[in-house]
């Protein structure tokens, strides 16, 4: 960060928080980051699987990400209200149960071999994860010293990346391992044979998602039982100054802060770029002019993309203790844009490894943009978190647009879209993140 957070630590609601150790709370919260990373990344495996199963175009296949990430836009603000009324802990429990119900929907979706039912299940699942994000991200930033908030969130996000690294391998074994018939082979099947084939292929997602359902419900029960500190967000420096002057800050809200608005755009384009790249990887690596890999092997290669994000977050968490997070964010964004461009202009192994290497530089972007955006919001931190989580809808819209581009100009050159996303992130990192109230506020 170019500017450090206000030197006011989070307060325990009951006033007994002096010197309290938040290690246990942070440890248990880290499991949530792992879990929603794992679930979200399984979409990268579902996309090629359902695309082949239902003979979808790239645009139609991107409805998976569209429905999933649209939930962030629809649910984020209501989730913020729920958190304010119930508290972080109960909000997390509600989120886990909702996500579990979404996963459970995959069982009838597979039994019916129905793409629309899959999409409904994805929306419910993402609604639960949205609630978890709205609760957990700001909770981590204020569980400790403000000046280390970015580093702390990067560290927990590293375990989110551990989940995204394992998910493609898990999904490749359990979902993509079955032989998939080509479009020409499907045309040769009669109606009964085609129905039987679709049911068999769809059934491969039932057991994995039932297992995830069980895990979500078990973790919800654990969170319902354990005790977590109830905390209040620190007051912003701006709010303190207003109070000293005897002025009311009631006319301000989170939308009054320019750096939050720019940060929301940053989250929008970052999630859009990351999800777009991940969503197309299996099909991209399967192209004859790139790597000509089978879906199962390509799915395992996706782990390098998300594994790079995991490694980068552990490294970034340490680096940002000493280096300006804004500048570090800007440098990472420029490198990511260069890697995308290189992959677009080359073929074979160079194109494959440059696109996979982007994960390393994506690594610190979400937590850094998030922590820079909510800096100095004070009592508006919860609302700011909801706005930022709404911006995750970029993961719905940008992949969908890239899908349309892929159908028209080919998958290779459709990656032009993420380049523009990374250029905006570079601007936010170098200049746009500095806390500033809008004129007239």
DSSP secondary structure of 166-219? HHHHHHHHHTS-S----HHHHHTS-HHHHHHHHHHHHGGGHHHHHHHHHHHHHH
The verdict on residue 414 lying in a domain is yes
The 10 Å Cβ neighbour count of residue 191 is 7
Block residue for tokens 């429990």: 93
| Confidence (pLDDT) at 11 | 47
| Confidence (pLDDT) at 294 | 85
**What is the rounded CA–CA span in Å between residue 142 and residue 381?**
10
pLDDT band at 439 (very low <50, low <70, confident <90, very high): low
pLDDT at 245 over 70: no
Nearest to 204 by CA among 343, 53, 85: 53
The verdict on residue 440 lying in a domain is no
Q: Domain tally for the chain? A: 1
Burial (CB < 10 A; 0-12, 13-18, 19+), residue 409, is exposed
| Confidence (pLDDT) at 96 | 93
| Confidence (pLDDT) at 193 | 66
The verdict on residue 401 lying in a domain is yes
Buried b (16+ CB within 10 A) or exposed e, 73-92: bebbeebbebbeeeebbebb
| Confidence (pLDDT) at 266 | 94
Helices assigned H by DSSP within 363-393: 365-373, 381-390
User: Are the beta carbons of 69 and 396 closer than 8 angstroms?
Assistant: yes
**What is the rounded CA–CA span in Å between residue 278 and residue 303?**
10
pLDDT band at 260 (very low <50, low <70, confident <90, very high): confident
Least confident of 250-259, 315-324, 339-348: 250-259
In this structure, the dihedral spanned by the alpha carbons of residues 200, 66, 306 and 346, taken in order and rounded to 10 degrees, is 100
| Confidence (pLDDT) at 195 | 67
Q: Encode pLDDT of 25-66 as tens digits.
A: 777 788 888 888 899 888 888 888 888 778 788 899 999 989
User: Are the beta carbons of 121 and 102 closer than 8 angstroms?
Assistant: yes
Q: Structure tokens of 390? A: 């709404």
For the chain, give the mean pLDDT.
Answer: 80
Instruction: Give the phi and the psi of residue 359 in degrees, each rounded to 5.
Output: -55, -35
pLDDT at 105 over 90: yes
pLDDT at 331 over 90: yes
pLDDT at 354 over 90: yes
Q: Give the residue numbers spanning the domain of 188.
A: 21-229+252-432
DSSP 11: E
User: Are the beta carbons of 372 and 247 closer than 8 angstroms?
Assistant: no
The verdict on residue 2 lying in a domain is no
Q: Structure tokens of 73? A: 């836009």
Higher-scoring residue by pLDDT: 56, 193: 56
Q: Encode pLDDT of 395-438 as tens digits.
A: 889 999 999 999 999 999 999 999 999 999 999 999 877 767 77
pLDDT at 200 over 80: no
Whole-angstrom CA distances from 283 to 58, 322, 326, 344 are 10, 40, 34, 15
What DSSP element (H or E) covers 321? none
User: Are the beta carbons of 17 and 11 closer than 8 angstroms?
Assistant: yes
User: Are the beta carbons of 204 and 174 closer than 8 angstroms?
Assistant: yes
What DSSP element (H or E) covers 232? strand 231-232
The verdict on residue 6 lying in a domain is no
Least confident of 191-200, 237-246, 302-311: 237-246
Higher-scoring residue by pLDDT: 405, 323: 405
pLDDT band at 259 (very low <50, low <70, confident <90, very high): confident
The verdict on residue 65 lying in a domain is yes
| Confidence (pLDDT) at 86 | 81
The verdict on residue 59 lying in a domain is yes
pLDDT at 8 over 70: no
Of these ranges, 251-255, 318-322, 367-371, the one predicted with the greatest mean pLDDT is 367-371
What's the sign of the alpha-carbon dihedral 162, 167, 168, 174? positive
Region 20-24: mean pLDDT is: 66
Least confident of 124-128, 294-298, 334-338: 294-298
Burial (CB < 10 A; 0-12, 13-18, 19+), residue 307, is buried
Longest Cα separation, the chain: 79
| Confidence (pLDDT) at 236 | 46
pLDDT at 339 over 90: yes
Burial (CB < 10 A; 0-12, 13-18, 19+), residue 60, is middle
pLDDT band at 164 (very low <50, low <70, confident <90, very high): confident
Higher-scoring residue by pLDDT: 250, 168: 168
Give the CATH number for residue 57. 1.20.1250.20
Instruction: Give the phi and the psi of residue 257 in degrees, each rounded to 5.
Output: -105, 115
| Confidence (pLDDT) at 411 | 92
Region 225-245: mean pLDDT is: 57
Helices assigned H by DSSP within 245-347: 258-285, 295-319, 325-345
pLDDT at 297 over 50: yes
The verdict on residue 280 lying in a domain is yes
Whole-angstrom CA distances from 301 to 294, 309, 364 are 11, 14, 21
What's the sign of the alpha-carbon dihedral 91, 76, 421, 415? positive
pLDDT at 10 over 60: no
* Number of helices and strands in the chain (H, E): 20, 2
pLDDT band at 146 (very low <50, low <70, confident <90, very high): low
Higher-scoring residue by pLDDT: 242, 355: 355
Q: How big is the chain, counted in residues?
A: 441
| Confidence (pLDDT) at 50 | 85
Nearest to 102 by CA among 210, 200, 201, 29: 210
**What is the rounded CA–CA span in Å between residue 401 and residue 399?**
5
**What is the rounded CA–CA span in Å between residue 403 and residue 284?**
12
Region 191-216: mean pLDDT is: 79
């Amino acid at each position: 960060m170019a500017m450090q957070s206000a030197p006011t630590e989070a307060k325990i609601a009951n006033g007994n928080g002096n010197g309290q150790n938040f290690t246990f709370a942070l440890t248990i919260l880290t499991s949530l980051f792992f879990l929603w990373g794992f679930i979200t990344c399984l979409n990268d495996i579902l996309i090629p699987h359902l695309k082949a199963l239902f003979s979808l175009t790239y645009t139609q296949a991107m409805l998976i990400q569209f429905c999933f990430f649209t939930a962030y836009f629809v649910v984020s603000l209501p989730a913020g209200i729920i958190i304010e009324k119930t508290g972080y802990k109960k909000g997390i429990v509600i989120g886990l149960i909702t996500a579990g119900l979404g996963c459970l929907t995959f069982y009838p979706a597979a039994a019916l071999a129905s793409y629309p039912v899959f999409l409904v299940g994805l929306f419910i699942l993402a609604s639960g994860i949205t609630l978890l994000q709205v609760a957990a991200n700001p909770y981590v930033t204020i569980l400790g010293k403000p000046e280390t908030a970015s580093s702390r969130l990067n560290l927990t996000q590293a375990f989110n990346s551990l989940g995204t690294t394992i998910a493609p391998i898990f999904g490749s074994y359990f979902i993509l391992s079955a032989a998939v018939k080509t479009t020409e082979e499907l045309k040769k099947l009669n109606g009964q044979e085609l129905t039987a084939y679709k049911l068999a292929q769809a059934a491969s997602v039932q057991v994995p998602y039932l297992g995830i359902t069980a895990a979500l419900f078990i973790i919800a029960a654990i969170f319902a039982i354990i005790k977590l500190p109830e905390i209040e967000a620190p007051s912003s420096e701006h709010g303190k100054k207003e109070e000293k002057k005897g002025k009311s800050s009631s006319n301000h809200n989170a939308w009054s802060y320019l750096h939050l608005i720019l940060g929301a755009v940053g989250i929008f384009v970052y999630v859009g770029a990351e999800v777009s790249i991940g969503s197309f990887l299996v099909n991209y690596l399967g192209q004859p002019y790139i790597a000509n890999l089978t879906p199962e092997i390509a799915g395992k290669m996706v782990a390098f993309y998300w594994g790079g994000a995991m490694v980068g977050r552990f490294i970034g968490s340490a680096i940002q203790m000493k280096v300006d997070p804004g500048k570090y964010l800007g440098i990472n964004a420029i490198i990511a844009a260069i890697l995308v461009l290189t992959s677009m202009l080359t073929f074979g192994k160079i194109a494959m490894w440059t696109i996979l290497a982007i994960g390393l530089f994506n690594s610190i972007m979400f937590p850094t943009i998030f922590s820079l955006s909510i800096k100095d919001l004070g009592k508006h931190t919860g609302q700011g978190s909801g706005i930022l989580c709404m911006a995750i809808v970029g993961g719905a819209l940008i992949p969908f647009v890239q899908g349309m581009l892929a159908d028209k100009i080919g998958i290779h050159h459709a990656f032009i879209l993420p380049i523009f996303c990374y250029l905006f992130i570079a601007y936010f990192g170098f200049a746009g993140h500095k806390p500033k109230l809008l004129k007239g506020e």
